[in-house]
Amino acid sequence: MAAHGDLKTRAVDGERLPVVEFAFPGALRDELVAAILRGDKTSTTGLLVDFEREGETVPRVGERFAVIDSDLRAVAVIETTEVRVVPCGEVDEAFARDEGEGFETVAAWRAAHERFWGGYIEELRAYLGDPDWQVTDATLVVAERFRLVRVLEPPVRDP
């Protein structure tokens, strides 16, 4: 559910970090960012096709990102600790729980993600040229684990 912005960056401590946006601005992003700041959220999942569609590279281990809140402020720095491109059907319960959203089962994780991805499925279908495309067990996802490096106080907003 994260979008990594290779072209969008924020200056943090004299260094320009690429931004990562969890969901779209609003209530869900606010919940996800709060979970990161509490240390509850340490994993995230995105569709590989979203990375391709946006022209973004899959994160690399050791890469750091500025976490953006709904007000487009950088509020934290995270570091990628693991990245796997796997079929959606291979996401396990431990990974689902580490998303910090209260998922107790893979089925609950899957349902929530399919609702989110369904919110823009027509864009994905248009990009893929497949009006019937659906997320299936074989759909490739980017399963990323990360650690909270630090909370930014005060948050950083680019001019």
Hey, how many other C-beta atoms are within 10 angstroms of the C-beta on 18? Answer: 18
pLDDT confidence of residue 4 = 52
- On whether the pTM is more than 0.85, the answer is yes
- Distance separating the N- and C-terminal Cα atoms of the chain: 27
Q: What is the pLDDT along the chain (159 residues), one digit of tens a residue?
A: 465 544 488 888 888 999 999 998 999 999 999 999 999 999 999 999 999 999 999 999 999 999 999 999 999 999 999 999 999 999 999 999 999 999 999 999 999 999 999 999 999 999 999 999 999 999 999 999 999 999 998 877 765
Q: Which residues of 117-145 are buried (b: 16+ CB within 10 A; e: fewer)?
A: beeeeeebeeeeeeeebebeeebebbbbb
Identify the CATH number of the domain in which residue 145 sits: 3.10.400.10
Q: How many domains does the chain have?
A: 1
Hey, how many other C-beta atoms are within 10 angstroms of the C-beta on 62? Answer: 8
Instruction: Print the domain residue range for 18.
Output: 2-156
C-alpha–C-alpha distance, residues 28 and 37, integer Å:
14
